[in-house]
Structure 1
Amino acid sequence: MAAAVNSRLSKGIIGRLRLASQGLVGPGFNSAADAVRWMTAMQGQDLQAALWAVGQRVPGSRIGDVRSALDRGEIVRSWPMRGTLHLLAPEDLKWILGITADRLLRGMAGRHRELEISAADVGAAADAALQLVAGGSAASRAELFRAFERSGQSSAGQRGIHLLGILCQRGWLVQGPLAGNQQLVMAFDDWIKDSRTLDRAEGIAEWLLRYLRSHGPATERDFSWWAGIPLTEVRAALAEVKGQLVELEFDGTSYWLSPETAALLDGGVPGARTVLALPGFDEFLLGYTDRSLVVPPEHANRIVPGGNGVFMKTIVAGGGVIGTWARSATGRGAVVVPQPFDAVNGLRPAAQKSFELQAAKYRRFLGP
């Protein structure tokens, strides 16, 4: 579709359109599996944050619902891109790894040399792991690392987790059901019975289309960074799928989104008064390489203090981040404390009331 320069666009409206495309405003999704499948991949290195990220998109859900979806294999958690854990639909993991794994592993080659992980070491670790989980068995991470040790592969320091990551990226292992707050490890084909097959060009085109539909308005550079796919391949894929998208121009940059989300510009973009308590690492922030549209640059350090890679929980109002929040205690006794960027005036009364409703929703999600 042709580009449109929309005089009504602003940073806030782009943020609200993203909330709509991600299911954070509007009807949301019927289940954890539906939410994850729509998003294609959701940041998941912090398990508790990932559970709440799904919960925010599934009205009325509880933490047990999302955990059960993991336990049943309706959603899976692995390292498909950027060397970081994500939640995915099980049928999508193998073909996405087929696109990303080689590049990911090449990018980690220097670190693997530091850890003295060779191809022979990976083979020995794979043999030990697959013997441990043969016949549909599941193993804890500690059991897996002991199996590595018995095969002559040290798991000390970060060596064990890097070996596990390699075996998952190669599609030999996958994280399966939960045991407390850790996931058990299983053989990939024992846990995921049905996997789609797409060639590289077809897969990138589908992935890009799904990303722009679920994350848009977003740019080709956003997707290139998010998925770890070279920009030249992204541009080739965009040429294939742009007829199914709407292009908007804002500040000289092209943003792409679904026709359904773009139609909200005519009927009224939701979320003007919506206040959300989002988890750290939520896709609303982590889904884009340029976050300045939704986070004022002067407050960026409040989101990732000291640039340490740990993203704080955020308060989003009207499509933009206006502060962070913290939690003490657990379950229904959790105390949720707002930390607005405007420390002098705090939250306005209406926003404070909305935030309190979000805090109550979060406590209900955590359960007793």
Structure 2
Amino acid sequence: MTHQEISHYRLISQKLYKTTPCSPQEIVRHLGAMQAQDYAMAKWAIGSRCDSSEKAIEEAVSSAEIIRTHILRPTWHFVASDDIYWMLDVSAPQVKRFTASAAKKYGYDDKKLDQVNSQIEKMLSGNNHLTRDEIMQELNIKKTSNEDFLSAAIMMNAELDGLVCNGRMKGKQITYSLLEERVAKPKNKLTKEEALAKLALRYFKSHGPATLLDFSWWSGFPPTTCKSTINAIELQLNSIEIDNQTYWFGNDISVESDFRESVHFLPAFDEILISYKTREASILTEHQSKAFTNNGIFKPIILENGKVIGTWKRTIKKDYAKIETQFFHESESHKKAILFEELKAFENYLGTKIVIE
């Protein structure tokens, strides 16, 4: 298997070929957790894998079929509602180390964070959905640049404790609500080993072929933990050796899967790039600095046959959306013509006309 073939199989495992109809929640559940700090772009990460509109995905988030919260690495993710509790149980303890360290800089130890959680629970009780600013106002925490870091740590801690999650949008503002008022708690809990095995299976079936270090990066767990987890589930996976690296993937993807021509407009921070430790299978090393920066900022990308060939950006106008493209090689600018077919899906998703420049 070559890097080109790996990128092809990842298109299949990540459901970018849209071979079967899926709802937004089914896409999120399949992928396990989808990075979602850029909310507008994260919705298109779901939309690019199904035929749902932005409004339908927004409704799935507002109705708590899909939860947007901090989980796995210390950043926003989309998670299916029926995965939220077991995934929090297994991943929250490691992510809380970051929030605890951030809060301590402002004099908030575990005891004080628990007290703040109690206050937040009271103000959100009864399906009350408040913005972060509204919650901080109730907590008498002023809005300054320093306190903004504190408020982020407080709310992330409350998310990781399973107290809060996203609420309904207030206009364009994100709100918080009580998780247990939105998603019923399951009666049974998984052991840590069971949850890790479930997380690993979900990752390799939805992101494979991928390596142990890829899973370690995506999940946030150290390589030693990931190695023992893979050992426990290896009979449920396929694997292949390339350049002394073992790549794992689901049993339901055949290595004879037909190759097909494809073009994809994918959002910033899409799983096709961000969920792997190294990304040579999808983007040449000399182009990587054009698609993402060393400090973790990822641009929207254009994929042709599984390879990143350029970047794009969207500007929403009154009656249309403008798409500007930038190809890595100027000689490829003629490929704009092949992008129009893919843009039809984006037009349907946005519900507005697209103009490409």
TM-score bracket, normalised by the shorter chain, equals: over 0.9
Residues 150 and 315 (structure 1), Cα distance of their counterparts in 2 relative to 1, 3 Å cut: closer
Correspondence for 1:167: 158
C-alpha separation in 2, matches of 1:347 and 1:259: 39
Q: Structure 1: which amino acid aligns with 2:328?
A: F
Moved more, 100-109 or 229-238: 100-109
Spell out, residue by residue over 1:82-117, the C-alpha distance to the aligned partner (whole angstroms, 9 max, x if none).
Answer: 101000011211211111212112244433322332
SS across alignment from 2:130:
coil
Spell out, residue by residue over 1:47-89, the C-alpha distance to the aligned partner (whole angstroms, 9 max, x if none).
Answer: 0011000000112x21001001011111101111110100001
Residues 332 and 211 (structure 1), Cα distance of their counterparts in 2 relative to 1, 3 Å cut: farther
Within the candidate set 331, 343, 346, 2:332 is matched to: 346
Q: CA deviation at 1:324?
A: 0.5
On the 8 A contact 1:43/1:84 being kept in 2, the answer is: yes
On the 8 A contact 1:330/1:366 being kept in 2, the answer is: no
C-alpha separation in 1, matches of 2:242 and 2:309: 22
Q: CA deviation at 1:202?
A: 0.3
Within the candidate set 281, 288, 291, 2:279 is matched to: 291
Residues 206 and 300 (structure 1), Cα distance of their counterparts in 2 relative to 1, 3 Å cut: same
Residues 310 and 29 (structure 1), Cα distance of their counterparts in 2 relative to 1, 3 Å cut: farther
Correspondence for 1:253: 245
Within the candidate set 7, 12, 17, 2:9 is matched to: 17
Q: CA deviation at 1:328?
A: 2.0
Q: CA deviation at 1:206?
A: 0.8
Q: Structure 2: which amino acid aligns with 1:281?
A: F
- Consecutive unaligned residues of structure 1, counting only runs of 5 or more, are 1-8
Matched, 1:69 2:60: yes
Q: CA deviation at 1:254?
A: 0.6
Correspondence for 2:314: 327
- Consecutive unaligned residues of structure 2, counting only runs of 5 or more, are 353-357
C-alpha separation in 1, matches of 2:114 and 2:21: 41
Q: Structure 2: which amino acid aligns with 1:172?
A: L
Correspondence for 2:301: 314
C-alpha separation in 2, matches of 1:255 and 1:360: 34
Moved more, 171-180 or 109-118: 109-118
Correspondence for 2:216: 224
On the 8 A contact 1:91/1:194 being kept in 2, the answer is: no
Matched, 1:134 2:117: no
C-alpha separation in 1, matches of 2:72 and 2:173: 20
Within the candidate set 158, 166, 185, 2:176 is matched to: 185
Q: CA deviation at 1:308?
A: 3.5
- Which runs of structure 2 are paired with 1:102-181 in the superposition (5 Å)? 102-149=93-140, 156-181=147-172
Question: Structure 1-normalised TM-score?
Answer: 0.90
Residues 129 and 357 (structure 1), Cα distance of their counterparts in 2 relative to 1, 3 Å cut: same
Within the candidate set 240, 258, 269, 1:268 is matched to: 258
Correspondence for 1:240: 232
On the 8 A contact 2:216/2:226 being kept in 1, the answer is: yes
Correspondence for 2:87: 96
Spell out, residue by residue over 1:266-318, the C-alpha distance to the aligned partner (whole angstroms, 9 max, x if none).
Answer: 24234xx201000000000111111122111111111124x242210000011
Correspondence for 1:4: none
On the 8 A contact 1:148/1:155 being kept in 2, the answer is: no
Q: CA deviation at 1:148?
A: 1.8
SS across alignment from 1:57:
coil
- Which runs of structure 2 are paired with 1:48-87 in the superposition (5 Å)? 48-59=40-51, 61-87=52-78
On the 8 A contact 1:136/1:186 being kept in 2, the answer is: yes
Q: Structure 2: which amino acid aligns with 1:142?
A: D
C-alpha separation in 1, matches of 2:141 and 2:238: 56
C-alpha separation in 2, matches of 1:315 and 1:15: 14
Spell out, residue by residue over 1:319-352, the C-alpha distance to the aligned partner (whole angstroms, 9 max, x if none).
Answer: 1111101122247611112211002x0244xx42
C-alpha separation in 2, matches of 1:315 and 1:150: 43
The Cα RMSD (Å) is 2.1
C-alpha separation in 2, matches of 1:129 and 1:155: 20
SS across alignment from 2:314:
strand
Q: CA deviation at 1:155?
A: 8.1
C-alpha separation in 2, matches of 1:304 and 1:130: 38
On the 8 A contact 2:102/2:153 being kept in 1, the answer is: no
Identity of aligned residues (%): 27
C-alpha separation in 2, matches of 1:109 and 1:189: 23
The higher relative CO (CA closer than 8 Å, separation ≥ 6) is in 1
On the 8 A contact 2:85/2:185 being kept in 1, the answer is: no
Q: Structure 1: which amino acid aligns with 2:7?
A: G
Residues 28 and 315 (structure 1), Cα distance of their counterparts in 2 relative to 1, 3 Å cut: farther
Question: Structure 2-normalised TM-score?
Answer: 0.92
Correspondence for 2:33: 41
C-alpha separation in 2, matches of 1:116 and 1:127: 18
Correspondence for 2:355: none
Q: CA deviation at 1:150?
A: 7.0
